[in-house]
Chains A and B, each alone.
Chain A
Amino acid sequence: MSSTEQGTSSAAPAEPTTAPESAAAPEVPESFYYVHGKDKVVHKVSAGALQHSALIHGMISNLGYTEEQAKANPFPFENIDGDILQMVVDWCNQHKGKPTPPEDTNLPKQKEKLFDLVLAVNYLEIKELLTYCCKQVAMMVKGKSPEEIREIWMIPTDAEDEAAEKEAKKRAGKEAAGETAAAAGDAK
């Protein structure tokens, strides 16, 4: 794994902002973990911020990594684009230890980005962010006609769905026939 510090995102602060702590009440120092996406850029994130993600929270619970171990073993999310993971990390940092507001207006407006963000957030199981994203997705078609909805959400027509279904059946049939032939060959 090439999780070198060269990969540490320039956008991601090397030391995430932490809430001011009272000098009178010393607390256990916050632990940090490291994640990277498809672009291998490593992001340092506090355990507090990562609590938003049920998936990562489950992974780090009882892990007991030292700082060095965590740095040496970043969590790889190869299925998530680097810029999308950056957005997710930023959101988790911004909302660390805070109640989430009813609306979030900082979500991407570009359809492609929003689509990828939704997939990432769903995969990482970040419930509140998923709710915001879903509202944003719904807003894309608010007040639109069925034709407009079809265009915006790229919904296939019934004819296209039927054709795709036929094609899938044909493919499945061919595959099944191939398997049968292979099994017969093995038997000989």
Chain B
Amino acid sequence: MNKRNKFRFLDLPIVVTRNVLSTMDPLNIFDFSQTSKRCRSYATFKKFPSDNLIIILEKFPHLLIEYEGNFYEFVMTDEKEKDRKRETKVDVSDGIRYEAVFVYSNNIMKDFNKLYTNVISVMNKKIQCVSFWLNLLEGKIEESVKWAKLRFPNVERIHVNGPNVPHKDVQYVLDNITPTFRVRLMAGTSEKLPLKIEGTFEQLRIGSGSWITVDHAMNFNFPYVMLMGTNITNQELNMILKNWIDMKCHLNTKQLEINLIDRDNFLDAVLENIPYEIAESRELENPKHGTIEEGFNIKRIDGHTCAIYICDGPDGYYLISFFNEK
């Protein structure tokens, strides 16, 4: 052995090996853990504070890891020449880095099972979210849902995505997998028919809500409800607020967000015949969303208050109501 090339990593003091591992990203840590049993136990030194591990189900499954504000992804492929190829993108607007590595397999699901179980074992984490891309699943929706249901019966979050997908496919996912924390429904159905959404989770987020009527909006009683892309009018928003005042809806809801289709007549229509006081402005959790102006406090018949604000998000204006704050 040429002395100049000698580098026995495992002979370094433990404090140094830990320091080196702490600078490595999840993709590298995982590869390191695969070199030997000893390296696998070293790899578990590394702490991963983020709790965001997402399985993305599309034609080929992915495992996405959020780590230190960036994203790292294992992407399965059936193209041998792509094996171990890396892709890196950096979002110039926010500097977020996205790094993916392709993993070739001729038995995709079997090898993906092995891969994700290995990764979560090395990271000492669990899968928090399963995300379905229905438009990319190419006739494997039932199979994918069964796969996810079997492995993640108590998953915290599910995401359902895809434009113009059949209503029955979205409903199939919702009927078969109930998360413990959040449903994020960004899929748009071609039929635009109402979806039945039931469960005891905390958050419901709907991105393509053109099917949502005022009745649906009043019946979603989850602690956090976000409904975007709806055709709900200002008069209907007024009805929702009046029903809340009369304790007929959203008794369990703490935060309700609905897109505004008519920003201009807000005061005249949304707050028509509702006594209100000006509310103090407040910071929103998402820094990309800002409140447009001061808010309005309204009161329920039992004395609980609700603070209402108009916000400007990436998809336009929306109304945000902080209910039951007393």
Contacts and interface: CB of A to CB of B under 8 A. Distances in A.
Given A141-B32, A143-B86, A161-B37, A111 B6 contact: yes
A80 interface: no
A142 B30 CA distance: 11
Nearest to B2: A112
A73 interface: no
B16 A130 contact: yes
The residue in A114, A145, A150, A155 that gathers the most chain B C-beta atoms within 10 A of its C-beta is A155
Contact of A155 (B9, B16, B28, B86): B9
B34 A146 contact: yes
Interface string B288-315: 0000000000000000000000000000
B20 A134 contact: yes
A154 B19 contact: no
Contacts of B31: 141, 144-146, 149
- B interface majority secondary structure: helix
Contacts of A152: 7
By secondary structure, the A interface counts as helix
Nearest to A130: B19
B282 to A, nearest CB: 36
A144 B28 CA distance: 8
A138 B20 contact: yes
A143 B35 contact: no
Contacts of A110: 4
Given A112-B7, A152-B7, A122 B15 contact: yes
A111 B7 contact: yes
A156 interface: yes
B32 A146 contact: yes
Interface of A: 110-115, 118-119, 122, 130-131, 134-135, 137-138, 140-147, 149-150, 152-158, 161
20 contacts: A110-B4, A111-B5, A111-B7, A112-B6, A114-B7, A119-B12, A122-B13, A122-B15, A131-B19, A134-B22, A138-B21, A138-B28, A143-B101, A149-B35, A153-B8, A155-B35, A155-B36, A156-B38, A158-B36, A161-B36
